[in-house]
Copies of this chain bind each other. A is one copy, B any other.
């Protein structure tokens, strides 16, 4: 049929499966057979799509995942309330709705296992797509006089992501409430600590 299967439909499914596994278990702990078996394929088939093997697949998939985080955060920030509170809540909801982006593992485990210079590319991408997007909003809030003038937007942006992502591991031993409710409470504390004032 003329209607279906653009050149890379199966490649897309491959990227999706790989993304989920890499995000969950990291680079080394994920095997090509893990990935191919969830698609009903043999691991040899993956080399058709990625001649560079596991590393090329990981870099491609992680690049896409980081960009997706960037787009997701951007959209979550854009829509909904224009207040800083609304934006942080939107960002937190998006982060909690997706698999944790474990930046400690990425920088300390996954990246060092890669040979190529794509290591730098990925870490820069994290900065551009995730940190900078939040940082921009914090700078705006600061310039608009909504939060303390002496706050450090770069630090806050990175810390906010680490804070929210860490909620992914909390349910295991301390879950009394939903993660969104927990995120909202932390955001309120953060905003109060920043002397947040909504009206100019």
Contact = CB atoms under 8 A, between A and B. Distances in A.
A24 B109 contact: yes
A41 interface: no
Contacts of A127: 173-174
Contact of A193 (B27, B123, B190): B190
Interface string A159-200: 101110111111011101100001001101111111100000
Contacts of A26: 26, 28-29, 105, 109
Contacts of A151: 189
B24 A103 contact: no
Nearest to A25: B109
Nearest to A124: B173
Nearest to A27: B29
A107 interface: yes
A104 to B, nearest CB: 4
A120 to B, nearest CB: 10
Given A159-B166, A159-B170, A191-B193, 7 more contacts: A28-B28, A102-B108, A108-B169, A123-B172, A155-B174, A159-B167, A163-B163
Interface of A: 24-29, 100, 102-109, 112-113, 123-124, 126-127, 131, 151-152, 154-155, 157-159, 161-163, 165-170, 172-174, 176-177, 182, 185-186, 188-195
8 interchain residue pairs of minimum CB distance: A162-B166, A193-B193, A189-B193, A28-B29, A127-B173, A192-B193, A103-B169, A102-B104
15 contacts: A25-B112, A26-B29, A100-B104, A103-B166, A104-B168, A107-B169, A151-B189, A155-B186, A157-B174, A158-B167, A159-B166, A162-B165, A162-B166, A163-B166, A188-B193
